[in-house]
Amino acid sequence: MIILFLLATFGNIQAQIVDKKNLIEKNAELKKIEGGFSFTEGPAVSRLGDVYFTDQPNNRIMKWSFFTGETEVFLENAGRSNGMFFDKSGNLIACADMDNQIWSIDEEGNKTILIESYQGKKLNGPNDLFITPTGEMYITDPLYKRDYWTRDPESQQDGEHLYFLSANRLQFMPVDENLVRPNGIVGTPDGKNLYVSDPGANKIYKYDIIEDGYLSNREIYLERGSDGMTIDFRGNIYVTGEDGVKIYNKKSEEIGHIPIPEKWTANVTFAGPDRKTLFITASESVYKIRMKVYGTY
């Protein structure tokens, strides 16, 4: 009976998928890769197309192999990592929420702390990040209070900001201090534009990236928030939340919807060597679906 229920559930999900611009491969099905996690987040794709993601409450980073389809533990005691992204050197950059740091993790699992404070005070709790083609990094720093923190509240930042870290790792500064609670973030592959979700304001903003990491021309891209986000080569933005994955074009028009049978869909990225497998982290499970379009990261 349980198997029949699951088949009926996925059949219903398939019927609800909306694809107005033929973004999804013909006859592609949403497939559950693995379940049994506490809360999945932070998918980051390696050069080979494998995906590393976090099981945040269990304080570990998992690795899913595109070629074998198997999932294994990559790193225990992972600093309660949340959002992640690979840099050009193949290091996994992680928002290590335990001590409000940014880590660089090599392929052996050895970590280097890149950022642990700003002007002598801890960050609130780095949540997600994006690295431009030239190596600059943008980091969202909302304040979601954790029961494992023991710090003095006075030691944290005076607001929930968006930060910039230069490619040489020498300059670290806020580049937008007028956000309520920034979260998901992604940029265009040409390094010219940045999208930042602010669920606290129920908005997603678009910026122009200008000289020395500064941002200009902030405008509202969508009147909705998002947890994690990704982008395809056409410039369509994939957003997440309680309604699965929704897809919007450059004009902010909704052109697709992939419902996910979980309470919350946290994040999404493109996987595989061809970057045509959409990999989705959602509550206690991770999913995939084949696409016609390819991602850029």
In CATH, what number is assigned to the domain containing residue 180? 2.120.10.30
Residue at 297 is within a domain: no
Average the pLDDT over 88-98 and give the result.
96
Question: Residue 11: what pLDDT?
Answer: 58
Q: Is 227 annotated as a binding residue?
A: yes
How many domains is the chain partitioned into structurally? 1
Residue at 296 is within a domain: no
**pLDDT band for position 237 (50/70/90)?**
very high
Q: Is 127 annotated as a binding residue?
A: yes
Q: How far apart are CA 9 and CA 31, in angstroms?
A: 12
CB-based contacts of 173-180 (< 8 A; 24+ apart in sequence): 173/118, 173/213, 174/118, 175/138, 175/213, 175/214, 175/215, 176/207, 176/215, 176/218
Q: How far apart are CA 135 and CA 212, in angstroms?
A: 12
Question: Residue 149: what pLDDT?
Answer: 84
More confident residue, 123 or 4: 123
State the residue range of the domain holding 144. Answer: 2-290
pLDDT tens digits, residue range 260-282? 999 999 999 999 999 999 999 99
pLDDT tens digits, residue range 101-160? 999 999 999 999 999 999 999 999 999 999 999 999 999 999 988 888 887 766 789 999
Question: Residue 156: what pLDDT?
Answer: 84
Q: Is 183 annotated as a binding residue?
A: yes
256 neighbors 265 (Cβ within 8 angstroms): no
Q: How far apart are CA 228 and CA 159, in angstroms?
A: 21
In degrees, to the nearest 5, what angle opens at C-alpha 45 toward C-alphas 52 and 133?
A: 135
| Average pLDDT over the chain, rounded to an integer | 94
pTM (2 d.p.): 0.94
pLDDT at 8 over 80: no
Question: Residue 4: what pLDDT?
Answer: 44
- Is 227 tagged catalytic? yes
Question: Residue 146: what pLDDT?
Answer: 87
Residue at 295 is within a domain: no
Average the pLDDT over 206-233 and give the result.
97
Residue at 95 is within a domain: yes
pLDDT tens digits, residue range 191-202? 999 999 999 999
pLDDT tens digits, residue range 43-80? 999 999 999 999 999 999 999 999 999 999 999 999 99
Q: Is 99 annotated as a binding residue?
A: no
Instruction: Work out whether the CA dihedral 54, 185, 287, 104 comes out positive or negative.
Output: negative
User: Which residue among the candidates 55, 97, 198, 227 is catalytic per the annotation?
Assistant: 227
Residue at 234 is within a domain: yes
